[in-house]
A = this chain, B = another copy of it.
Amino acid sequence: MKKHLTKADIENLERFPKVNLINSITGYKSANLIGTKSVEGISNLAVFNSVCHLGSSPAMLHFTLRPHTVARHTYENILATKYFTVNQINASIIEEAHYTSASFEENISEFETTGLTEEYKSSFLAPYVAESAIQIGCEYVNTYEIKENGCLLIIGAVKHLYFEENLQGKDGFLNLEKGETVCINGLDAYALPNPLARYEYARPNEEVKEKILNGDK
């Protein structure tokens, strides 16, 4: 039996039940840590559940920032320095990843408070998380303001990509389960996916065919 809530019912919910509910309705979200550096040289790390693929040629991604969030240090650093990293959260660092959402003071690095390892390579300004199996070095491209609620959509271009070699199948695909990449439900629930199936490109009037799961066709 399904429960039905109208727009008005949702608006009338108390703040936290509303936030918990509405953050779950679109399904699971990606789980990433965004690493930046301030012009004063302080590194910053923040958990994001809104990083999404935006295109492969050129390789770009986007994420959203709510108005007045504590993660504003991330955005200020990106605007000031033009670079940031995206680091996938795996099952062994979910507690540390969540702890980056606490409102630390501006002169304190979340790498220090969480114990996650700050990594620099290929002369890239922003810090990577050494514990992540997949790391992306991004250049800031643009911001779109969503005028309906003041959220910001930030676009980044992929300049560097690092991933554990054993994750990749012969068709290019990354087996995220081998890196124990997690996903997020709502604001605060971390989950570990298990692969079910991959399917071939679908065509009308043909049955859907399964692919080899790991991409080694």
Binding site for B on A (CB under 8 A): 1-7, 10-11, 13, 16-32, 50-62, 64, 66, 86, 88-89, 91, 94-95, 98-105, 108, 113, 121-122, 134-136, 141-142, 144, 146-149, 151, 153, 155, 157-165, 168-169, 171-174, 176-177, 181-183, 185-186, 188-204, 206, 208, 211, 213, 215
Chain B residue at minimal CB-CB distance from A170: B17
The 8 A-B residue pairs with the shortest CB-CB distance in the complex, in nearest-first order = A17-B172, A20-B172, A191-B193, A27-B30, A24-B174, A102-B202, A22-B56, A28-B183
Copies, count: 2
Contact call B60/A55, Cβ cutoff below 8 A: no
Contact call A157/B27, Cβ cutoff below 8 A: no
Residue in contact with A192 in the complex, picked from B50, B163, B193, CB distance below 8 Å = B193
Complex CA–CA separation, A99 to B200 (angstroms) = 10
Which residues of chain B have C-beta atoms less than 8 A from A181's C-beta?
27-28
**Would you give the shortest CB distance from A199 to chain B, in whole angstroms?**
4
Which residues of chain B have C-beta atoms less than 8 A from A144's C-beta?
144, 146, 153
Of A52, A64, A177, A189, the most chain B CB neighbours within 10 A belong to: A189
A54-B149, A191-B196 known; A173 and B98 CB under 8 Å?
A: no
A27-B181, A29-B52, A98-B199 known; A160 and B19 CB under 8 Å?
A: no
A–B pairs, 30, beta carbons within 8 Å = A4-B121, A4-B160, A7-B59, A7-B159, A11-B57, A11-B58, A18-B56, A18-B59, A19-B56, A19-B172, A20-B173, A22-B53, A24-B176, A25-B53, A26-B32, A27-B89, A28-B28, A28-B183, A29-B30, A29-B52, A55-B149, A98-B208, A100-B202, A101-B202, A102-B203, A141-B148, A146-B155, A173-B185, A189-B197, A191-B195
